Every structure is written in C-alpha cells, then in structure tokens.
C-alpha cells in the first residue's frame, strides 16, 4: 500500500490501526506477514484516505492562523482567569467537590491538570475554543477531585455532569494543535 505509516509489532493477536499525532500507526502481531498487513491496509483504504484528508485540512487551518502577539497572550491570560474561575465555581457544586488555587498558564501540551492538593491549572488558550470545550476541560479536572485517575468511574462522573464531553473532546483533538500553535 502507498500510505506512509509506522508499524508496531507486539504480542497482540490481531492487526489494528489508529490515526495519532498526524499519522497512521499500524499495530500487528510479531509473526504477521507483511503481505497480510498490506491486505489489511488495502481493505481500510477509504478510512485511511478520510483521515489523511482530515489531517490535510487541519494542517491548512493551522497554517492560516496568525500567531498571537505577546500583548494578545497577556490579555488572553487575564480574561481566561476570570472566565475559567467562573466556570469552576459553577461546576464544583454540581460535582460535589472543593478546589484550591486556580492557575492560568500558556502551556504547550496540556489543557488542564489537577494536583493532589486540589489546585487546578488551565491553559489560557482554552478561551479561544468553543464554550463547551472549555467546560469539558473544567469538568474533567474537577472530577479528578473525586477520582485521581482515568477509570470508568471517573468518566462516568464526567459524563454525568457534562454529557457533551466526548463531542467537546473530539473538537479539541481535531483543533487543539492549531490553538497551541498560535501561542508560538
């Protein structure tokens, strides 16, 4: 097949694939013949072509966005502190948790985090995302006050409070890199 991909062989029993970090990753059993992997890719060429097209579109969107100036970033942090603090205050009682300090940063890879002490950290760039995306990250971090993991119970709580979580995370996965790129 003519698709570029990264092949990872392991002790698994079946062939699988995923689109991650802008490229195709194929996972296959150690003893799987290359011909079988090629046939698998041929069977799924429409799925792969669709992901490649989506990636090209994301790359084009990213290239079209102007970088934010230092002044823009300072203003964004100020506005983010106010907006995110209000959203945390709204959702914390719905989840039934308390929290400590709220810090707003310009991070390169994270949208939010929660410390064991209950301090919450958020990326100021969330303010450039749709409101549901910001709320999904706020709810995610607040739910860590109940479950400091990503277990089924954790996600059940997130979805109880914010049923649109998966759609918001899908948006963030598709467009988040473009937002992060704007901060330089």
Q: How many CB atoms lie within 10 A of CB 149?
A: 8
Where do the domains of the chain lie? 5-64, 70-182
19-54 pLDDT, tens digit each: 876 789 999 999 999 999 999 999 999 999 998 888
65-83 pLDDT, tens digit each: 778 889 999 999 999 999 9
pLDDT over 60 (residue 1): no
Pick the CATH number of 70-182 from 3.40.50.720, 3.40.50.300, 3.30.2010.10, 3.40.50.970: 3.30.2010.10
Q: At what angle do helices 131-143 and 152-161 cross, to 10 degrees?
A: 140
Are 76 and 124 contacting, i.e. CB atoms less than 8 angstroms apart?
yes
**How much is the pTM?**
0.72
Are 68 and 184 contacting, i.e. CB atoms less than 8 angstroms apart?
yes
């Amino acid at each position: 097949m003519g698709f570029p991909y990264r092949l990872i062989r392991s002790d698994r029993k079946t062939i699988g694939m995923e689109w991650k970090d802008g490229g195709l990753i194929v996972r296959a059993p150690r003893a799987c013949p290359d011909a079988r992997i090629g046939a698998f890719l041929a069977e799924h060429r429409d799925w792969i072509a669709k992901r490649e097209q989506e990636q090209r579109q994301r790359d084009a969107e990213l290239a079209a966005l102007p970088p934010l100036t230092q002044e823009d970033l300072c203003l964004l942090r100020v506005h983010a502190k106010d907006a995110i603090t209000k959203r945390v205050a709204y959702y914390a009682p719905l989840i039934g948790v308390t929290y400590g300090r709220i810090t707003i940063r310009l991070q390169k890879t994270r949208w939010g985090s929660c410390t064991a002490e209950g301090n919450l950290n958020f990326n100021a760039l969330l303010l450039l995302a749709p409101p549901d995306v910001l709320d999904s990250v706020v709810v995610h971090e607040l739910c860590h006050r109940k479950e400091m993991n990503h277990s089924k119970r954790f996600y059940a709580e997130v979805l109880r409070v914010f049923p649109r979580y998966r759609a918001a995370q899908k948006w963030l996965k598709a467009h988040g890199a473009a937002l992060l790129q704007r901060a330089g």
